[in-house]
Amino acid sequence: MSARRLWLVRHPPVAVERGICYGRSDVALAAPVAAAAATLRGELPVGATILSSPLRRCAELARALSDTVTFDHRLQEMDFGEWEMRRYDTLPRADIDLWSADVWGFRIPGGESAADMAARTWAAWEEWGAAESGDLVVVAHGGPLRVMAGRLLGLPQNDWLDIACPQGACIRLESGADGTWRRGETAK
Protein backbone atom coordinates (compact mmCIF):
# COMPACT_ATOMS: atom_id res chain seq x y z
CA MET A 1 0.00 0.00 0.00
CA SER A 2 1.37 3.43 -0.89
CA ALA A 3 1.45 6.43 1.43
CA ARG A 4 -1.66 8.63 1.35
CA ARG A 5 -2.58 12.12 2.54
CA LEU A 6 -6.05 13.12 3.67
CA TRP A 7 -7.47 16.50 4.65
CA LEU A 8 -10.75 16.45 6.60
CA VAL A 9 -12.27 19.93 6.21
CA ARG A 10 -15.21 21.10 8.30
CA HIS A 11 -17.55 23.75 6.94
CA PRO A 12 -17.35 27.31 8.35
CA PRO A 13 -19.84 28.56 10.99
CA VAL A 14 -23.51 28.56 10.04
CA ALA A 15 -26.26 31.17 10.27
CA VAL A 16 -28.09 29.37 13.05
CA GLU A 17 -28.68 30.68 16.55
CA ARG A 18 -26.52 29.04 19.21
CA GLY A 19 -28.33 26.21 21.00
CA ILE A 20 -30.30 25.06 17.93
CA CYS A 21 -29.98 21.45 16.75
CA TYR A 22 -29.48 21.71 12.99
CA GLY A 23 -27.83 18.38 12.01
CA ARG A 24 -28.95 17.46 8.51
CA SER A 25 -30.96 20.66 7.95
CA ASP A 26 -29.62 22.51 4.92
CA VAL A 27 -28.71 25.78 6.64
CA ALA A 28 -26.76 28.71 5.23
CA LEU A 29 -23.29 29.84 6.21
CA ALA A 30 -22.97 32.79 8.60
CA ALA A 31 -20.61 34.65 6.26
CA PRO A 32 -19.52 34.48 2.63
CA VAL A 33 -17.26 31.50 2.03
CA ALA A 34 -14.43 33.40 0.30
CA ALA A 35 -12.33 34.11 3.41
CA ALA A 36 -12.50 30.53 4.70
CA ALA A 37 -11.69 29.18 1.23
CA ALA A 38 -8.70 31.51 0.88
CA THR A 39 -7.28 30.37 4.23
CA LEU A 40 -7.82 26.68 3.43
CA ARG A 41 -6.29 26.97 -0.05
CA GLY A 42 -3.03 27.79 1.72
CA GLU A 43 -3.19 24.45 3.57
CA LEU A 44 -4.58 22.10 0.91
CA PRO A 45 -2.65 20.41 -1.88
CA VAL A 46 -3.16 21.59 -5.44
CA GLY A 47 -4.91 19.02 -7.62
CA ALA A 48 -6.31 16.88 -4.79
CA THR A 49 -9.54 14.97 -5.29
CA ILE A 50 -12.32 16.80 -3.42
CA LEU A 51 -15.26 14.88 -1.97
CA SER A 52 -18.06 16.77 -0.21
CA SER A 53 -21.35 16.56 1.58
CA PRO A 54 -24.05 18.01 -0.69
CA LEU A 55 -25.48 20.24 2.07
CA ARG A 56 -24.88 23.84 1.03
CA ARG A 57 -22.67 24.75 3.99
CA CYS A 58 -20.16 22.20 2.68
CA ALA A 59 -20.96 22.43 -1.02
CA GLU A 60 -20.30 26.18 -1.12
CA LEU A 61 -16.90 25.71 0.48
CA ALA A 62 -15.99 22.73 -1.72
CA ARG A 63 -16.92 24.65 -4.89
CA ALA A 64 -14.85 27.61 -3.70
CA LEU A 65 -11.87 25.26 -3.33
CA SER A 66 -12.19 23.51 -6.70
CA ASP A 67 -14.17 23.44 -9.92
CA THR A 68 -14.18 19.65 -9.69
CA VAL A 69 -16.06 18.31 -6.67
CA THR A 70 -17.76 14.96 -6.13
CA PHE A 71 -20.77 15.06 -3.81
CA ASP A 72 -21.78 12.11 -1.65
CA HIS A 73 -24.96 12.20 0.47
CA ARG A 74 -23.41 9.72 2.93
CA LEU A 75 -21.18 12.55 4.19
CA GLN A 76 -24.14 14.58 5.49
CA GLU A 77 -24.37 15.35 9.19
CA MET A 78 -26.43 13.13 11.46
CA ASP A 79 -30.19 13.24 10.90
CA PHE A 80 -31.65 14.56 14.15
CA GLY A 81 -35.23 13.86 12.98
CA GLU A 82 -37.78 15.55 15.25
CA TRP A 83 -35.01 17.52 16.93
CA GLU A 84 -33.96 19.35 13.74
CA MET A 85 -34.11 23.15 14.08
CA ARG A 86 -35.31 22.96 17.68
CA ARG A 87 -33.55 24.43 20.69
CA TYR A 88 -31.75 21.76 22.69
CA ASP A 89 -33.26 23.17 25.89
CA THR A 90 -36.78 22.42 24.57
CA LEU A 91 -36.13 18.75 23.76
CA PRO A 92 -37.71 16.08 25.99
CA ARG A 93 -35.44 15.57 29.01
CA ALA A 94 -36.04 11.80 28.92
CA ASP A 95 -34.76 11.62 25.32
CA ILE A 96 -31.67 13.71 26.15
CA ASP A 97 -30.94 11.36 29.08
CA LEU A 98 -31.31 8.28 26.85
CA TRP A 99 -29.02 9.84 24.25
CA SER A 100 -26.42 10.75 26.89
CA ALA A 101 -26.48 7.18 28.22
CA ASP A 102 -25.97 5.67 24.74
CA VAL A 103 -24.58 8.29 22.35
CA TRP A 104 -23.87 5.77 19.59
CA GLY A 105 -26.94 3.57 19.89
CA PHE A 106 -29.79 5.96 20.70
CA ARG A 107 -31.91 6.63 17.62
CA ILE A 108 -33.19 10.21 17.60
CA PRO A 109 -37.01 10.16 17.18
CA GLY A 110 -37.67 10.34 13.44
CA GLY A 111 -33.93 10.41 12.71
CA GLU A 112 -30.91 8.19 13.05
CA SER A 113 -28.38 7.08 15.62
CA ALA A 114 -24.75 8.10 15.67
CA ALA A 115 -23.96 4.49 14.78
CA ASP A 116 -26.12 4.86 11.65
CA MET A 117 -24.24 8.03 10.70
CA ALA A 118 -20.90 6.32 11.37
CA ALA A 119 -21.84 3.33 9.19
CA ARG A 120 -22.82 5.45 6.17
CA THR A 121 -19.77 7.68 6.61
CA TRP A 122 -17.49 4.65 6.69
CA ALA A 123 -19.21 3.22 3.60
CA ALA A 124 -18.34 6.46 1.78
CA TRP A 125 -14.72 6.16 2.97
CA GLU A 126 -14.52 2.57 1.79
CA GLU A 127 -15.74 3.60 -1.65
CA TRP A 128 -13.79 6.83 -2.10
CA GLY A 129 -10.90 6.83 0.34
CA ALA A 130 -9.81 3.25 -0.09
CA ALA A 131 -10.16 3.44 -3.88
CA GLU A 132 -8.46 6.80 -4.41
CA SER A 133 -4.76 7.20 -4.80
CA GLY A 134 -3.02 10.46 -4.10
CA ASP A 135 -4.28 13.34 -2.00
CA LEU A 136 -7.92 13.44 -0.91
CA VAL A 137 -9.84 16.34 0.64
CA VAL A 138 -13.18 15.60 2.33
CA VAL A 139 -15.42 18.61 3.04
CA ALA A 140 -18.10 17.63 5.52
CA HIS A 141 -19.53 18.05 9.01
CA GLY A 142 -18.18 17.46 12.50
CA GLY A 143 -19.83 14.06 12.99
CA PRO A 144 -18.68 12.36 9.79
CA LEU A 145 -15.19 13.90 9.99
CA ARG A 146 -14.70 12.68 13.56
CA VAL A 147 -15.82 9.21 12.50
CA MET A 148 -13.27 9.11 9.68
CA ALA A 149 -10.44 10.51 11.78
CA GLY A 150 -11.18 8.33 14.80
CA ARG A 151 -11.51 5.13 12.85
CA LEU A 152 -8.48 5.75 10.65
CA LEU A 153 -6.36 6.63 13.68
CA GLY A 154 -7.51 3.45 15.43
CA LEU A 155 -9.06 5.26 18.40
CA PRO A 156 -11.77 3.65 20.54
CA GLN A 157 -15.23 4.74 19.30
CA ASN A 158 -16.02 6.56 22.54
CA ASP A 159 -13.03 8.86 21.88
CA TRP A 160 -14.11 9.89 18.38
CA LEU A 161 -16.42 12.66 19.57
CA ASP A 162 -13.54 14.23 21.52
CA ILE A 163 -11.51 14.88 18.36
CA ALA A 164 -11.13 18.62 17.83
CA CYS A 165 -12.80 19.56 14.57
CA PRO A 166 -13.07 23.36 14.34
CA GLN A 167 -15.39 24.92 11.79
CA GLY A 168 -13.60 26.28 8.74
CA ALA A 169 -10.45 24.26 9.48
CA CYS A 170 -8.99 20.88 8.62
CA ILE A 171 -7.53 17.79 10.19
CA ARG A 172 -4.53 16.42 8.26
CA LEU A 173 -3.89 12.69 8.26
CA GLU A 174 -1.33 10.62 6.43
CA SER A 175 -0.79 6.93 6.04
CA GLY A 176 2.45 5.09 5.78
CA ALA A 177 3.27 2.33 3.35
CA ASP A 178 1.94 -0.12 5.94
CA GLY A 179 -1.51 1.53 5.84
CA THR A 180 -1.31 2.92 9.39
CA TRP A 181 -2.77 6.43 9.69
CA ARG A 182 -1.43 9.24 11.89
CA ARG A 183 -1.95 12.96 12.25
CA GLY A 184 0.17 14.71 9.69
CA GLU A 185 1.86 18.03 9.34
CA THR A 186 2.40 17.47 5.65
CA ALA A 187 3.55 20.12 3.24
CA LYS A 188 1.53 20.94 0.16
pLDDT higher than threshold 80 for residue 101: yes
Strand spans (E) along 11-68: 20-21, 49-52
pLDDT computed for residue 134 by the predictor? 82
pLDDT tens per residue, range 22-35: 999 999 999 999 99
Q: Are 103 and 161 in contact (CB under 8 A)?
A: yes
pLDDT computed for residue 188 by the predictor? 45
Q: What is the pTM of this model?
A: 0.94
CA geometry: angle 156, 162, 163, nearest 5 deg: 90
Q: Which amino acid is at 168?
A: G
* Percent of the chain surpassing pLDDT 70: 96
pLDDT tens per residue, range 120-143: 999 999 998 877 678 999 999 999
pLDDT computed for residue 120 by the predictor? 98
Burial label, 133 (beta-carbon count in 10 A; 0-12, 13-18, 19+) = exposed
pLDDT computed for residue 2 by the predictor? 61
pLDDT computed for residue 149 by the predictor? 97
The 3-state DSSP composition of the chain as helix, strand, coil percent (nearest 5) reads 35, 20, 45
Confidence of residue 93 (pLDDT cuts 50, 70, 90): very high
* Alpha-carbon separation of residue 114 from 58, 77, 118, 142, 164 (angstroms): 20, 10, 6, 12, 17
**To the nearest 10°, the Cα dihedral for 175, 178, 182, 185?**
-50
Q: What domains are defined for the chain?
A: 4-176 (3.40.50.1240)
The conformational region for residue 186 under phi > 0 = left, psi -120 to 50 = alpha, else beta, is beta
Q: In DSSP terms, which residues pair with 86 in a beta bridge?
A: 21
